């Protein structure tokens, strides 16, 4: 989707090392963590590192192919790999969460925790519904980014045909190929809600964002969503 993924790679150290991670200058409910690598669950790190890389690397490759307007067969091949990797990763994450519960950056490092979240973010709606309470609690406990919760709630709203809250989800018109931000509730207060969850303003997130233009186009956008069954 349109939402960019920002991450930091943490090197495991023999000595105790405290690191601070922050993704936004805007103060959010949860946007930073104090990480002590000596307290990480070392037995999980290799598997979670693989999960994170599998989730992101093939999606980055897909994005490059789409941008370069590669052959449909090339694009479909990578998409098929993503589907297979997502299925395998979800099985792994299900087992990990069943045994350990939610694992924050304090437990497995930033990439490890983000890997778990991303697998859920890219899973089916039923899986997202099942884990939403766990992620909400993790956000309250300071064990996942507020922005994670925001984009998950937006993704679920989109899939359920509801207006999104934080404006993180976009789509392309299947006929014209034009990109749109999926319908948003209470657009006038959108940036305030985004700020509260550690998300950047829409003017930073979307090129040439114009609030009034979006509001004027919203009926047309809603019509496209309905006609093309965008989810």
Model confidence over 197-214: pLDDT tens digits?
999 999 999 999 999 999
**Does the structure show a pLDDT above 70 at 25?**
no
pLDDT of 21 higher than 50 = no
* Residue 1 burial (C-beta neighbours within 10 Å; 0-12, 13-18, 19+): middle
| 34 burial level (CB within 10 Å; 0-12, 13-18, 19+) | exposed
Please, what is the average pLDDT of the chain?
Answer: 89
Q: Examine the pLDDT at 23 and tell me if it is beyond 50.
A: no
The pLDDT of residue 30 is 87
Q: How far apart are CA 99 and CA 140, in angstroms?
A: 21
φ, ψ dihedrals at 3, nearest 5°: -70, 120
189, 190, 195, 196 alpha-carbon torsion, rounded to 10°: 70
* pLDDT, position 29: 74
Query: How confident is the model at residue 227, as a pLDDT?
Result: 96
What number is the average pLDDT over the span 154-173? Answer: 97
- Is 5 a residue whose pLDDT tops 80? no
User: Is pLDDT above 90 for 7?
Assistant: no
Question: Average pLDDT of 16-45?
Answer: 68
Whether residue 152 is predicted with pLDDT greater than 50 in this model: the reply is: yes
What is the spatial distance between Cα 124 and Cα 2, in angstroms, rounded to a whole number? 19
Mean pLDDT computed over 91-115: 98
């Amino acid at each position: 989707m349109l939402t960019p993924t920002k991450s930091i790679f943490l090197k495991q150290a023999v000595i105790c090392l405290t690191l601070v991670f922050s993704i936004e200058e805007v103060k959010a409910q949860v946007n930073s963590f104090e990480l002590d690598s000596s307290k990480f669950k070392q037995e999980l790190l290799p598997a979670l590192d693989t999960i994170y890389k599998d989730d992101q690397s093939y999606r980055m490759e897909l994005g490059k192919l789409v941008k370069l307007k590669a052959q449909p067969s090339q694009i479909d091949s990578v998409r098929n790999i993503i589907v297979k990797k997502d299925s395998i990763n979800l099985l792994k994450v299900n087992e990990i969460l069943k045994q350990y519960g939610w694992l924050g950056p304090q437990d497995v490092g930033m990439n490890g925790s983000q890997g778990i979240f991303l697998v859920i973010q890219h899973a089916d709606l039923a899986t997202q519904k099942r884990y939403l309470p766990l992620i909400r609690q993790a956000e309250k406990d300071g064990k996942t980014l507020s922005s994670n919760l925001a984009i998950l709630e937006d993704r679920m709203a989109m899939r359920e045909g509801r207006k999104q809250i934080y404006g993180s989800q976009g789509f392309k018109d299947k006929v014209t190929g034009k990109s749109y931000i999926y319908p948003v509730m209470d657009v006038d207060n959108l940036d305030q809600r985004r700020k509260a969850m550690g998300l950047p303003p829409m003017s930073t997130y979307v090129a040439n964002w114009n609030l009034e233009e979006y509001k004027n186009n919203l009926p047309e956008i809603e019509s496209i969503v309905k006609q093309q069954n965008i989810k």
